[in-house]
Amino acid sequence: MVKSQIDTIELRRRVEVKIDQCLKQAERYFNMRLTKPIFNFKQRGRSAGTAYLQTNEMRFNAFMLNQDPEKFIDEVVPHEVAHLVVYQVYGSKPKPHGPEWVAIMEHLFNVDAERTHTFEVPKPKRLYLYQCGCQTHEFTAHRHGRVKRGTQYLCKLCKEPLVFLHAN
């Protein structure tokens, strides 16, 4: 087995251990059985992780996990688990980063309730260049798709509409 496969297997095991720890803490605190989520490393783009409440699934960004595994496992994994715990305990009424989620993060998991991460974001495979009156802007395929469906963007500096130039 090559080193990267060993690292991947080990990191997956560490993520699963952290998920189990968080769930056990929540089960003890709420005195109820929680359903263990499935998880994978299919998250792409700018998000470090996403919790899918109805399917009890978490997706993690492997690119970001590999930057700083300790920080990722200590912060991102509890962040996503807390979303699933809120859903299983309180239902769909609470807001995604509302007081219930904050309480679980800070008082139960002892992790700062941050909504954003500081990991580097992977460079997009393809960029779309747009022009305004003062500069050139780079759009991702996602944002370019929004423009194609009718969304119009204005430059924050000169307030002029952004016009598509070409793909890079």
Q: Which residues are tagged catalytic?
A: 80
**DSSP category for residue 39:** E
| Cβ-Cβ contacts under 8 Å for 119 (sequence gap 6 or more) | 48, 61, 64, 67, 68, 72
Strands (E), the chain: 38-40, 49-52, 57-60, 128-131, 136-139, 163-167
Residue at 64: amino acid letter: M
d(CA 159, CA 98): 34
β-strands 49-52, 38-40 pairing: unpaired
d(CA 51, CA 165): 36
